[in-house]
Chains A and B, each alone.
Chain A
């Protein structure tokens, strides 16, 4: 029997999960399995804290903070933990994006993987989602100055790894 919280959460998942998976894919440097794990972890935490989420003045900001915290928690992945039975994982085809494959994408994925998670998150929020420095700082729980320095260092590192590729000449 579902209650009001369940119904609200279910509707939220149906409308927002796809976007969360895309964000999580970037935050995990293109690892679809880790991204799914991250989304599941985020949504679980969100359900537990649902009343707080509903009361939040900035729900998107709240969601980003939960996502970043869950990402940081992934540090403990070596700590073997319970996961749901594999039967729970939907057997669905993954949509193929041409930009997600090829030598350039592989290079970018490898370069992203070398970034610390929070630095990667700063880059993703600033350059993919066009968040301003203040909102990115709020998501990461750090100062605006840290966001600027982390983003700059992330770009420097990406340039160092893939800067030779002419298609990425105008970052």
Chain B
């Protein structure tokens, strides 16, 4: 007869010795993440300066001229708690665009945290989502692998087939679909078909408060490059 503790211990499985190959792979992942973080930190500084000087492309949902044209960086530095319902302004992005995706415009006050062959991740500058990668939580989350309170652009996973049903929207002349998955309370995903046959996905965390029109407006400035790769999972 066993008690709960023994049952749980059994569920955890038998310890298996870690191989050198596993440790090597963990090390490679860690080094890659650190390299990306340092690259983003370097790029973010220059991107910020450029964005401040960039001419604004007004896109104000409220239609109130007094709400328009906040300079980059003027958005409060909280992510999930900083809905942009008052105004939403895209400014030219002239930062580094080295990999799978390129972007014409980004929202004022936002930074590109990572672009590689698999994803493009944006977040409000200085955002501190609740699920920050930092263990103690109260530091800005610049981890491009964390999407909480952010916007992520990528190709549809090879493990996900087809386009779910959703709201039909026009994205630069393409028939896109804005999907709110049943039971999901985290965000919405815009699917945009690509010539390759693979959907582009723009995933928008609910807490940031983008409207459907704003998501589409942003997505129209996204370009999928030939070296973009779909992820798994």
Which residues on A are within 8 Å of B, measured CB to CB?
A: 2, 6, 9-10, 13-15, 17-19, 21-23, 25-26, 30, 32, 37, 40-41, 43-50, 62, 65-66, 69-70, 72-73, 75-84, 86, 88, 90, 92, 94-100, 104-105, 108-109, 112, 124, 127-128, 141, 158, 166-168, 170-171
Contact = CB atoms under 8 A, between A and B. Distances in A.
Given A26-B12, A48-B37, A78 B30 contact: no
Contacts of A100: 10-13
Interface stretch (B17-25, B73-81, B88-96): B17-25
Contacts of B174: none
A165 B233 CA distance: 36
A79 B27 contact: no
Given A82-B154, A90-B22, 4 more contacts: A18-B15, A44-B26, A75-B131, A81-B152
Chain B at the A interface: SS class: loop
Interface in B117-175: 118-119, 130-137, 143, 145-148, 152, 154, 156-157, 160
B14 interface: yes
A14 B10 contact: no
Nearest to A61: B135
Contacts of B16: 18, 21, 92, 94-95
Contact of B146 (A49, A73, A98): A73
Contacts of B27: 2, 6, 9-10, 13, 47
18 contacts: A18-B18, A19-B15, A45-B133, A45-B143, A47-B34, A48-B34, A48-B133, A65-B135, A72-B131, A77-B233, A80-B157, A83-B231, A100-B12, A109-B11, A127-B4, A128-B12, A168-B3, A168-B7
